[in-house]
Amino acid sequence: MEIAMESDSVLLTYRPNVALILENTEGQILIGERRDVAEAWQFPQGGVEDGESFEQALYREVKEEILLTPESYRILESKGPYRYQFPKGFEKYRALGQEQHYFRALLLGEKSLLKMEDTSCEFRALRWIAPNAFRISWLPLMKQPVYQKVFQDFFQLTLMSSSETSLK
């Protein structure tokens, strides 16, 4: 992680973060609609706490955000880091941006393990989709280059834009 100097009350560093690409046995991936931004879909993700490994942070964040225990899925691979910068004026984490490590995992058992209506405050809805159905336009601009690279690295796909951005 790069650390720079503190300026205007923002620490110029990248916040460590983990994200989960959860697949079911049909090859679909799980995405969540953010509670704070309607029709913004993303993978479950969250920050790494002091003293945590990336894998420990993943297990904690997945349990917090989508209520799955580590026994419910098996990690297949991980890649990273992927970085993006926060927009100017965004001071929530006192960081320049996020540095993410992505984990691809297989859901062990039925999709019904996930209670789609019973999610944390992070997501208002969860959906299973084919990887090639994800649209770059569902993301804030700051995250689009990272997702483009993640989909290329994990699925050899280039994400498309679409005028139809709703999954409802």
- Where are the chain's structural domains? 3-155
Q: CB neighbours of 56 closer than 8 A, spacing ≥ 6?
A: none
Burial of 44 (0-12, 13-18, 19+ CB in 10 A): buried
Q: CB neighbours of 129 closer than 8 A, spacing ≥ 6?
A: 28, 29, 31, 167
Residue 154 predicted with pLDDT over 80: yes
CATH fold for domain 3-155: Nucleoside Triphosphate Pyrophosphohydrolase (3.90.79)
CA-CA-CA-CA dihedral for 163, 154, 127, 87, to nearest 10: -60
| Cβ atoms of residues 146 and 83 within 8 Å | yes
Q: What confidence category does residue 5 fall into, taking pLDDT thresholds of 50, 70 and 90?
A: very low
**pLDDT tens figures, 61-94:** 999 889 899 999 999 999 999 999 988 877 666 7
Residue 131 predicted with pLDDT over 80: yes
Q: Which residue has the higher pLDDT, 59 or 88?
A: 59
Residue 148 predicted with pLDDT over 50: yes
Calculate mean pLDDT across residues 57-63: 96
Residue 2 predicted with pLDDT over 60: no
Tell me how crowded residue 59 is: count the other CB atoms within 10 A of its CB.
Answer: 20
**Coil, strand or helix: which one is 71?**
helix
**Coil, strand or helix: which one is 43?**
coil
Q: What confidence category does residue 46 fall into, taking pLDDT thresholds of 50, 70 and 90?
A: very high
Residue 1 predicted with pLDDT over 80: no
What secondary structure letter does DSSP report for 114? S
**Nearest CA to 78 among 50, 57, 51?**
57
